[in-house]
Structure 1
Amino acid sequence: MATTLNNSNIEKIKKLILKEGYLTSFWREYRSNATKGCGVGKALDNLKKLGVPKNGDPSKGKLDQMPEIIQGFDDLSVAMLKARGKCGGGQKHTKEFCVAYGKHIEKLHAEAVKLAQGGAQKAMAKELLKDDPKKEKGLDPKVIQANTKAILEAAKKYTELAKWLVAVQQTSAKAAKLLESKMSAWASQRNNDGIDTQRLDAAMEAAIKKIAVDAKIKPSFQNMQKTQKELQNILKVVKKVKTEGIDPKVVRASSDAIKKGDKAFDLARKAIEGFLSDYKGALQVVAEGRDRKVSEAQVEGH
């Protein structure tokens, strides 16, 4: 990071996102080193290759590449969420920077979707006007537009759910690491002479439960089940949509979004289930240690 974000410059830098935020050099100038490896730079490079200018205006890109541009904004949005998730207490300004970025990316994504829908309708109308007997007849441009819209909206919903799932995965993974650290410290302290193990065990049990509460594991797990149903419902809608006449790039971009969403769900599910397994195991270990100490005390008492 060449320029450190602080209270005096953060608002100015956030405004600059609207003018030149889609240059890889801009992102690298202001982002924290903690956000390296999140894929933001790669996503920005890809958008540049698709003709998206430094202010991110999708209308400057090629209309026939709009599905790829939409997917590019989806990828950037997910990468930005990962970057935001890596911001700890010492990177509060970078986190604010990422939040501002995310909001603008969503706006540009919506604009790109509208451009793709309008372009699909015009392209199909043009095709139908051609006097070519080899062309399929009876394809209503309005139907094509409606089907295109349904496909794009499904991809958008999948991407939004994928962003939430990425956040769940990151939070669960962080909680698991914290739990491992706490358990290691607890085991080490328990071996110290003169330690009040009863008090230590009680504090550890409370700490384990607090980690789960702070990470919102229970509500996230419950929402995972709801999310799975949402994803299934979206897929049902997509399967009913006739892709006849729809730009193949739109269909392909939608398919890619669905694949990424499914992958995000699997990763989030494994992360949260992994934490729950560690959580139950940690509580059991602490309980067994406490019970063993009580038994030893009873033997000594006799």
Structure 2
Amino acid sequence: MPPVFRFAPSPNGYLHLGHAFSALLNFDLARQAGGRLLLRIEDIDATRCRPEFEEAIYEDLAWLGIAWETPVRRQSEHFAAYSEAIERLSAQELVYPSFESRAEIARLVAKRETKGAWPRDPDGAPLYPGTARSLSPEERERLIGEGAPFALRLDMAAARRRTGGLNWRESGEGPAGETGEVAARPEAWGDVILARKETPTSYHLSVVVDDALQGVTDVVRGTDLFWSTSVHRLLQELFGLAAPVYRHHRLVRDEAGHKLSKSTQATGLRELRAKGASPADIRRLVGLP
């Protein structure tokens, strides 16, 4: 079977040079391997994703000369699949609701840090400090019945007991040069959010479900997502899914060395095209032949 690659942007802004690099790299690798390239629209954030940004994605990628298979998978059309995955984890007693707001969590972290540094995940966010995991079933049902907002979290300790040691095959390179067989450390993320009351999925959950359903064999993405792979490998193991080969690539940064943002107009593809840049210029700017 030919390898399957995918480019999976979120339509919450216009594409920039960093997106172009990742999309072109996936396109080039798929062609070199005689494989397929899929395009997936990761639009689970209804408050930020907009139709005009999605249309701009298609326009920018076509301008770059990138071809992809159709139909395009749009995550907002597949919430039922993500809910089914949550139900499978719930049946294993690996998911629980937490009811603290972001402000309440910040206060809990501040309180705990009066006694020493509170652990943080690889992105620098504090691990979940609450006690919702120990709430009784009756108390959880009461709060949900009253309409309280909640997030569904993975019981990381229980999940790790079920899976044991995990690793993934890295054909690229991590932020500290990690390559080859890399040991996964999902516990570094704590009890991650898998869904919310108003949105029945999260990035971690939907990307694992989608990659499996679409038969993705090669995940090529930026090093900013390198350690997220630990959570993805854990979920793959819990669902009994095969792991793709991962290839994490360097990030395209601005002149100050910062990761590019969709609000950075100087590196936006639309702005560069309006100034007369060609697809060949974009390849040169991101360091591709």
TM-score normalized with structure 1 length: 0.21
- Structure number with greater CO (CA < 8 Å, separation at least 6) is 2
Which of the pair is proportionally richer in strand? 2
TM-score normalized with structure 2 length: 0.22
Which of the pair is proportionally richer in helix? 1
Q: Which has the larger radius of gyration?
A: 1
